A and B are shown apart, each in its own frame.
Chain A
């Protein structure tokens, strides 16, 4: 074994958990807060949509399940916000690859899985913030739903938005572009409409309502609104979330392993 000066002092080791730490998570979140685009799209825009589409005075008096229509729109817009937040959180890998940061990280002990864990947690933290903001605004602008149901909606919405964190990661590896959200932003808007977040399926034509059930935002939306009460099939929604989640996670893992071999 070599025995030169620097190894005598402290033995060199590889960090625990592949380099994952609260320190890194904290730095990443601070960095995210500087991204004005992300802040506007995830923390402000969903609430603006809620105020535009959900606070009509007739909606406040019209009931929907255990609450009013305003609460229905509130939950839907929170899910929309969480979708944007988690997708853009996952898609940060595209930016970091484009800038060569991923390559720089390969000159450190950071394990690829730890890196993905950090990205996912950052995405999920963002998603939680997006939901919380819409819910707080909702409380002040006429959403009526018992608090425990509100919290349950939020919890389910947050947990299921993991599907979109995986989607963001997959796309982030697929599209090595610094401005990947300029492509994904409009796609998410389309998926939100198609999945019935902006318009209930009952308002759609039969054909569109059928297609809607196969799109990835549908399952997340239905499950998040389930504590509010509704007539849509929870079982179908669970199936939707599991299938899309599985596809996106598999896709992200596949692209990631290719990436690790190549760079």
Chain B
């Protein structure tokens, strides 16, 4: 029905003087996808988000949002964003801030509705300057909901929220995503990317270093671990198998790290007395560190 991608970046670069903040990225996001943007500080995430929102222009390449200019998509309310810090006036009340923004969008959702959905309907009369960090973050979320955007961009959206706030927030995001809203979020909470994104895009040094489901990325970075109970294990035979990264012996337990965990498991169960087999993937945090760390600095420099 709809083949126009929500976002299409083609060969996008952004230089600040000599610094290459974004060093040639291609990224297409289809409508309805929930994409997590991960990367260490300085990876180029925020610079990329700024270009998507029309807040800055790329040095080279092409940024398209719903097939057109980012700035226009923003003005029409097709794209909305929750930015990480700032952006609020202390001497407006929460409700006035939303009313101000609502007056600009055609059409706009009712103010009461977005306050309700962001969970701040009861504190509408509070001055923004007197609201907590979490409440201010909910206010930014309420403002982003006003235009009922087709694409919602979130930069560290749950910073400052308590556990309950974070849970409410993600449940609201999931509800909308199910109804077809495209969502792109940058986050440091790796478990949020793992739990809520259909797709994880990892950035480092201004480039995309990995792009896939959370499970694919974990496997890509670190393979899986196979643990078995096997007293007096024949580690030499094990080490001869293809694709073995490491073997740990811990008492009667043997832990094998391998890129092809299936063949290791098959071997262990069929050809050795090993039992109690468990296969675990490393968590996303390990993958994140492995893929974005500076351990293989040379590759980054050459790239």
CA distance A10 to B77 in the complex (A): 12
- Most chain B CB inside 10 Å of its own CB: which residue of A4, A30, A107, A263: A107
State the A residues within 8 Å of B (CB).
1-7, 9-10, 12-15, 19, 21, 23-24, 27, 30-31, 34-35, 96, 99-101, 103-104, 106-110, 263
**Is B287 close to A, CB under 8 A?**
no
Q: Inside 8 A of A23's CB, which chain B residues have their CB? A: 99-100, 103
- Interface of B, secondary structure class, is loop
Given A13-B106, A101-B89, A103-B87, A4 contacting B74 (CB threshold 8 A): no
Q: Inside 8 A of B39's CB, which chain A residues have their CB? A: none
Q: Inside 8 A of B91's CB, which chain A residues have their CB? A: 31, 34-35
Given A12-B78, A107-B74, A21 contacting B67 (CB threshold 8 A): no
- Interface of A, secondary structure class, is loop
Closest to A9 in B: B107
Q: Inside 8 A of B105's CB, which chain A residues have their CB? A: 15, 108-109
Query: A4 touching B103 by the CB < 8 A rule?
Result: no
Q: Inside 8 A of A15's CB, which chain B residues have their CB? A: 103-106
**Is B86 close to A, CB under 8 A?**
yes
CA distance A7 to B180 in the complex (A): 13
CA distance A2 to B101 in the complex (A): 26
Given A2-B4, A4-B31, A109-B76, A10 contacting B107 (CB threshold 8 A): yes
Return the contact of B86 from the options A14, A27, A34, A100 (Cβ within 8 A).
Answer: A100
B interface size (C-beta, 8 A)? 42
Q: Inside 8 A of A31's CB, which chain B residues have their CB? A: 89, 91-92, 96
Return the contact of A21 from the options B2, B77, B103 (Cβ within 8 A).
Answer: B103
Return the contact of B106 from the options A12, A27, A30, A34 (Cβ within 8 A).
Answer: A12
Q: Inside 8 A of A101's CB, which chain B residues have their CB? A: 86-89
CA distance A144 to B186 in the complex (A): 67
CA distance A93 to B86 in the complex (A): 15
A23-B100, A103-B83, A108-B105 are known; give 6 further A-B pairs, CB within 8 A.
A4-B150, A12-B76, A12-B77, A31-B89, A99-B87, A110-B104
CA distance A3 to B1 in the complex (A): 8
Q: Inside 8 A of B80's CB, which chain A residues have their CB? A: 107
- Min Cβ gap A111→B in Å is 9
CA distance A103 to B81 in the complex (A): 11
**Is B279 close to A, CB under 8 A?**
no
